Structure 1
């Protein structure tokens, strides 16, 4: 079952969107957004909390706590219903369009009479938006690209949502006495950044009770099909789930078959045929005798084909089979290889947890070191100042003397439209680590955006470029930059590029990680956590790095602390390159 926290967060975000599109004060919109983030990341289930405990959640307060209580008790909020009624239906429909935003949605509604995504597409086709104040040909083209990307994504959902649904299903199925083994497969096991549907595989000699149990799961909205060994259902969140039961001797072959991409599986079947074998979801068989020679474990199927076991994240038919045959497939980085986290936020800016709570969570996660990188002054909504940064540094130094991970005081700078940064070089020299990111002006020309990133990369104190392409999965296209130039500069200057682990970002993505490796780029796999719960997102970043064939040596937060500090010194880059 979904957590009540998620439902409450969605309600608060709807409040924020409707306030923004109806012209509500920005501070109030931001208050709802921060409260949504706080409840989503809160470790306790909101439905179990008393009203006084809701009031104590950071960024909630008594007024929003009352609305949350009303929502938890009745399933609705009267004030939100009134707000919905005041905002025209056509205007609300525009909020679903990625890349538009509340302010511009209201503008195209009022000035062009656009009331639906279809109206917007027609206006884009006729180039009518570029005539509006604040628009131009490039901003119109960027919006059209975002709409096309959303359309191509179809009904796909982000990795984090799909994984949460799958894990809750496994928790329900695993205790059934008939279940011997159960695992999710498909693109979810390959950890793609978006998922079309969920494949779950079960090993059992008695499939009928399992098939029946699947149809009765609380998360199921509708049964699509119900068979003796395969059942398909639709969840309340709109995800299709296909559950298959196989006999235990076929488990490994079936898990391999239903995990790999089409291209990966074709290559394996071709290998099998050349060896006089045939491969299916039931096992690996001799062609002449139909005798099964492997099937119970994935490892034995790969071994019988002359291959090492290949990580699920690599099974895309992108050269991994050839590399495995020639012994050149890299040993990719794992979650256990990470020694720390290099990009996190506290409630000093837009995080929802205080510094001590974030540090305690990092200690509980086993981090050897932990960087706090709150936003800098030029992201004005965060209200950071030099004085606040210095006060935080003193507090971090005090905490660093206590048991726990080594603490690094950092900052996430804003790469301005001209490539300049928030603080001068002298002040930046006092930070242990500096992350620099693009947060605005995504539609600049390619040469301007490229120069903007290069200026930040070449800065003597910038260590990491955060979420380098700025893409939002299913929502915002990557900025248009000359990535080869960016990769060359990053490798030359010893500036790491981030693999941001937030499920909505996963930026750099796997394909770009692999491309950047050829230039000698190093990476920081970081959580960009804004709450304690989000520290766990590192597994998504690791999977993304794996999809780019990144090894432990490619990722700077696998380094011991003294080696990491040498890399962060930047001026002595050669000493940090292995």
Structure 2
């Protein structure tokens, strides 16, 4: 059963926005933001907690706990409804635009009576915002970019939400009598960062029991189509699920066909036609005789086409067919290859769990090593000091090796300042096992300044990894503008790894960036940037993105032995 935490997180996050829009107390808005994040990251389902249990969650006080209980009991919160009623619908539509904050949305409504995305687009194109303070040319460009992001996203959902839904559906269908196999396919199996519809396949002799089971699921809100070969439903969360039931003998061909991508399938069908064959979701057939030549497994379908099995994440027609024909397909990274996480946080800064709790959770994942990298002092809201970080180091050294012999690394996430400088001086940084450096502000610098800033960070002898390099938030914030080829070359030259951040709202670097960076000889680190125990499981999304970027174990530093990793962390040029 799905956890209610995400619903509560979204509600409290909305309430924080509503407080800000209506001119409420900024500290109160911030309190609700913190509580929303804490509940989203809490390991237990909040629907099973009473007020006292809720107040054990960090940043959740009595008032917030009561609102959560009210929502779980009635499906709404009176205080939220009251704030919603004070905000015109048009303003709430504008707030959905990435890069446009709530206060700017309210000003557009009050000063220019703009109440829709289309009206705002037209106003910018007509230069109607020119005299409105705070809406200069750069701001208008950012808003237009945000509108493009909003429209591109459409009804697509993040990969982690799609995967949650798919696994819920598969759990129901796999329990139906007669199910021989079940799996999700499509862009979700290829680990695209956002998903349209979820394709689910079942191998069985009869389709009706599975079609009936899907439409009867508690999470089904709408039946779009209910047929013998295909049934489509929409869940209460608005996600469309398409189910197809295949004969068991056609399972491999069906998985190959419905996994896609369309471009990859065109290439495989072209190969089939050239060989006098026909490839469909039911199998690979001899065109003249109609005889089935391969269908039960993907491996035998690919083999009959003269190809090795191609991992789903590579099936985008980006050279995988050619590489397969040459026998040069990479042995891409798997989650099992990861020996440790090199970017995580605790409640010393903005994490939700203690050092001990995070270390124990990492040990349960079977890691050989694990790094704690709390924020450095220039991210002022985290109130880091030299004394705090040194006390953490002392405690970490006490824990080192005590959890299933997992070795602990003491690191920090530094802030890359506007000129490329980082928080602490070299002599202090020398005491850390590794340093991740990330952009947290000044995202609007021009291309030349941003490039110089990132290159300078790479050239710092104590910076080992550039965290979430482009800073993008999928569907919400574009990546910064930089000459990425120059940055990638600097990483390769200085021995600085680039992070593939596994947080599903980031997945930064993107797969396309990874492919470019890899050609420069860059090394990578696939990290979770975990701020809670639950976030450690996000590794799967980072690995999926790394696979789409064709990364192997040798490309990724946190698949290496600790000895090899430590050698890499001692950058050339470091004293």
Bin for the TM-score computed over the shorter chain: over 0.9
TM-superposed deviation, 1:372: 1.0
- Paired residues of 1:211 and 1:228 also in contact (CA < 8 A): yes
Q: For each residue in 1:92-137, what CA deviation from the matched residue of structure 2 results, as whole angstroms up to 9, or x when unmatched?
A: 2221111112233234334433322222212222344454444432
Cα RMSD (Å): 1.5
Which residue number corresponds to residue 84 of structure 2?
84
- Paired residues of 2:461 and 2:573 also in contact (CA < 8 A): no
Which residue number corresponds to residue 419 of structure 1?
420
Change in CA separation of 1:277 and 1:22 when aligned onto 2, cut-off 3 Å: same
TM-superposed deviation, 1:387: 1.9
Distance 1:260 1:232 in 2: 19
Which residue number corresponds to residue 99 of structure 1?
99
**TM-score (normalizing by structure 1):** 0.96
Distance 2:434 2:126 in 1: 48
- Match runs of 1:509-548 below 5 Å: 509-548=510-549
Which residue number corresponds to residue 143 of structure 1?
143
Change in CA separation of 1:112 and 1:455 when aligned onto 2, cut-off 3 Å: farther
Q: Does 1:191 align with 2:226?
A: no
Q: Does 1:230 align with 2:226?
A: no
Distance 2:401 2:181 in 1: 46
Greater Cα offset, 110-119 or 93-102? 110-119
Q: Does 1:494 align with 2:477?
A: no
Distance 1:379 1:196 in 2: 36
- Match runs of 1:357-368 below 5 Å: 357-368=357-368
Distance 1:47 1:552 in 2: 41
Greater Cα offset, 217-226 or 184-193? 217-226
Which residue number corresponds to residue 350 of structure 2?
350
State the SS of the aligned residue for 1:144.
helix
Which residue number corresponds to residue 505 of structure 1?
506
Q: Does 1:45 align with 2:45?
A: yes
TM-superposed deviation, 1:245: 0.5
Which residue number corresponds to residue 400 of structure 1?
400
Distance 2:295 2:329 in 1: 23
- Paired residues of 1:139 and 1:443 also in contact (CA < 8 A): no
Change in CA separation of 1:512 and 1:175 when aligned onto 2, cut-off 3 Å: same
Q: Does 1:166 align with 2:166?
A: yes
Distance 1:391 1:465 in 2: 25
- Paired residues of 1:353 and 1:532 also in contact (CA < 8 A): yes
State the SS of the aligned residue for 1:278.
strand
Distance 1:550 1:242 in 2: 31
Q: For each residue in 1:350-409, what CA deviation from the matched residue of structure 2 results, as whole angstroms up to 9, or x when unmatched?
A: 111111111110001111111111112222222222222112111211211523421111
- Match runs of 1:260-299 below 5 Å: 260-299=260-299
Greater Cα offset, 261-270 or 415-424? 415-424
Which residue number corresponds to residue 207 of structure 2?
207
Q: Does 1:241 align with 2:241?
A: yes
Greater Cα offset, 120-129 or 337-346? 120-129
TM-superposed deviation, 1:280: 0.6
- Paired residues of 2:97 and 2:143 also in contact (CA < 8 A): no
- Paired residues of 2:220 and 2:233 also in contact (CA < 8 A): yes
Distance 1:402 1:83 in 2: 50
Which residue number corresponds to residue 576 of structure 1?
none
**TM-score (normalizing by structure 2):** 0.97
Which residue number corresponds to residue 461 of structure 1?
462
Distance 1:289 1:401 in 2: 65
State the SS of the aligned residue for 1:469.
coil
- Paired residues of 1:159 and 1:192 also in contact (CA < 8 A): yes
Change in CA separation of 1:74 and 1:460 when aligned onto 2, cut-off 3 Å: same
- Paired residues of 2:346 and 2:354 also in contact (CA < 8 A): yes
Distance 2:347 2:130 in 1: 39
Distance 2:390 2:103 in 1: 36
- Paired residues of 2:447 and 2:483 also in contact (CA < 8 A): yes
Distance 2:511 2:372 in 1: 25
Distance 1:86 1:393 in 2: 49
State the SS of the aligned residue for 1:557.
helix
Greater Cα offset, 38-47 or 332-341? 38-47
Distance 1:470 1:351 in 2: 19
Change in CA separation of 1:431 and 1:14 when aligned onto 2, cut-off 3 Å: same
TM-superposed deviation, 1:28: 2.2
- Paired residues of 2:502 and 2:542 also in contact (CA < 8 A): yes
Q: For each residue in 1:266-296, what CA deviation from the matched residue of structure 2 results, as whole angstroms up to 9, or x when unmatched?
A: 1111111222211110001111211111100
Which residue number corresponds to residue 178 of structure 2?
178
Distance 1:70 1:253 in 2: 50
TM-superposed deviation, 1:66: 1.8
TM-superposed deviation, 1:27: 2.6
TM-superposed deviation, 1:334: 0.6
Which residue number corresponds to residue 56 of structure 1?
56
Distance 1:108 1:415 in 2: 33
Distance 2:148 2:115 in 1: 18
Greater Cα offset, 503-512 or 38-47? 38-47
Which residue number corresponds to residue 446 of structure 1?
447
Distance 2:499 2:420 in 1: 18
Distance 1:130 1:373 in 2: 44
Which residue number corresponds to residue 571 of structure 1?
572
Unaligned 5+ segments in structure 2 are: none
- Paired residues of 1:178 and 1:207 also in contact (CA < 8 A): no
